[in-house]
Structure formats: C-alpha cells, structure tokens
Amino acid sequence: MPLKRLCFPGESFRKRLSRGSTFVRADADWQHFAGTDWLSRIMDVEIRDRFHAKQGRTIARWTLIDSGGSQKVVYLKRHYCLPRWHGWMALFFPHWAWSPGRREYENLGWARSQGLPVPRTPAVGEFLGPWGRLQSFLAVEELSGMVGLHEAIPAASAALPPQRFAAWKQGLIAELARLSRELHRRRMFHKDLYLCHFYISEADTQQVPDRWQGRVMMIDFHRLARHRWLWPWWLAKDLAQLAYSSDLPGITARDRLRFWRVYRRGDWGAVAAPPRVIAWLIYRKWTIYERNRIRREKRIQE
C-alpha cells in the first residue's frame, strides 16, 4: 500500500531551530488501527507485551484493532535519548535520516526495492525538538507464524529424520548464501547478520520445502550501510556473525563449509578480493566473538 506523507521538515531554519519539526509517514490504513490521535501519543503509549528497554530506546509488541475487529500487530521501536549532535545534523540537513527509526525505515525501503524479503513498515516518525532534541519511532509489522532460525534449526533437527533434515539444511544454506551475496555484491552490509535475524514459517520446521527462495525473511536493518573502500572488513564481520551464531544443535562444521562454498559460487570478483584473505578475516573475527563470549560467561559465574 502506498505511503501517505503527513508532515515533512520543510519549514524555515529559524522555525526548526526554535519550534522543531516533524517527519512522519504512515500507510493509508494506519490511522484506522492506531486512532486519529495516534501521532500525539505514539511516544507515550504504554505497551507491555514483549517489552524491552535499553539505553534510551524501547521495543514492544503492539496489537491494534480497528472498529471492524480487524487486527494489525507491529513491533514498535521508540528512541527517546539520541545524541544531541544527531539533532543538530537533522536541523541543518532535514532531508537526511539522522534518527534510528527513520534510518531503518529507509534501509528497509532500499532492501525491498532490491527484491530482498523484509517486513513492511506501516509507520515511521522523526521528531526534532527545539535546539536539536531528537526522537524517533518505527512500526514494523510482525512476521506472524514465523520463527527465527536460532529457534527454527533446533526445532527442525528434532522434528525431521536425519536424511530429511540434511536436505532441509542444504536448501536453507543455499538461500542464506544467496541473500548474503545479494547484499554484499552491492557493497551493502547488515552488521547484525546473526541467524536470529532470519525468519522462516514455523510450518517449514516440520517439512522440507520444494524451494527455499522467497521463504526466508530478514529483519533489523538499522545498521545497514554501504562501504565502498572498507568492504572486506565489513564483509568478514557479517559472515563471522553468521558463523558465530551457527553454534546450534544440528549445525556442523560441514554445514559451515557448505555455506562458504555456495557463497563463493558465481562472479567472486563482484563480491570480494582473494577468498583466502576474506576467509582469514572471518576466522579472526569469529575467534574474537568466541573469546568475548567466554569472558562474559566467566564474569557471570564470578
């Protein structure tokens, strides 16, 4: 559904400085679910379902029901305490995304335009207060009936016979490699490329799909960025995150090797420089993640 622009920071610099401005976009049907006064209360409405707060930001599951009984479920991300310099940059350059909510909204829009499977974003807002105070929000539709791969892989391992599970993994690995390459060949990097940020239908943990393409969704694009010059480092970081998060029941070293082989197929030069260099960087970053995990566990035990 096309987006409707409600407000845009096109006011004069003096007005933005003294009174602030608002950038908001929402689906045409958003108001039917959120209410006519939704914009005035979006940052204050109390939501406790799967609520999580950290460092001036919150995320919670928000169930909206319109007058006809139809339901829309979103995850509402709100950012309350953003660096003041971000607000000043938004003041001077209002057409660029300086808040996390607006930035992730634009990143998801870019991914969608490239054919990558991502959730819909029915509403986004950036509030620039007087003298550079900045807040933002983003509503992301829930992937109903879907689970993250960190849960789906162990579930499939327990539900499927060994031979069928091996076939299940082979198809899934090929799709993960394809999606990763689609990002990286454009010099775009997720920077949170853990298995928990890939989702599949819960029903697909009980069967072997005929084809995996179009059945895997990607989430959390708030850190997505393009790196034209330092891309080998960020590519290695993305793939090391995948490798690190693959320490799950049912995943073996052979599966990781299969991913690497599939990822390298095709025009390797369009993705990276010498494969051995990238492989070494991935290994180094992976060992750093493992070392940090062990240190955290020791601190918890102490």
254-271: pLDDT as tens digits: 999 999 999 988 555 545
28 and 134 assigned to the same domain: yes
pLDDT band at 298 (very low <50, low <70, confident <90, very high): confident
Residue 25 lies in domain: 3-141
125 and 175 assigned to the same domain: no
Instruction: Examine the pLDDT at 4 and tell me if it is beyond 80.
Output: no
185 and 114 assigned to the same domain: no
153 and 134 assigned to the same domain: no
190 and 78 assigned to the same domain: no
Please give the mean pLDDT across all residues of the chain.
Answer: 91
207 and 132 assigned to the same domain: no
In SS3 terms, 120-159 reads as CCCEEEEEECHHHCEEEEEEEECCCCEEEHHHHHHHHHHH
At 227-255, the pLDDT tens digits run 988 898 999 999 999 999 999 999 999 99
Of the candidate ranges 7-16, 58-67, 120-129, 286-295, the one whose mean pLDDT is the lowest: 7-16
Give residue 5's pLDDT: 43
Q: Which residue has the tokens 């109903």?
A: 144
Of the candidates 226, 147, 154, 148, the residue with the CA atom closest to the CA atom of residue 190: 226
Average pLDDT over residues 141-152: 98
88 and 205 assigned to the same domain: no
Q: Which of 85, 117, 141 is the last residue of a domain?
A: 141
Sign of CA pseudo-dihedral 88, 89, 95, 101: negative
Give the count of domains, the chain.
Answer: 2
At 66-105, the pLDDT tens digits run 888 899 999 999 999 999 999 999 989 888 999 999 999 9
**Residue 51 near residue 28 (C-beta atoms within 8 A):** no
Give residue 19's pLDDT: 84
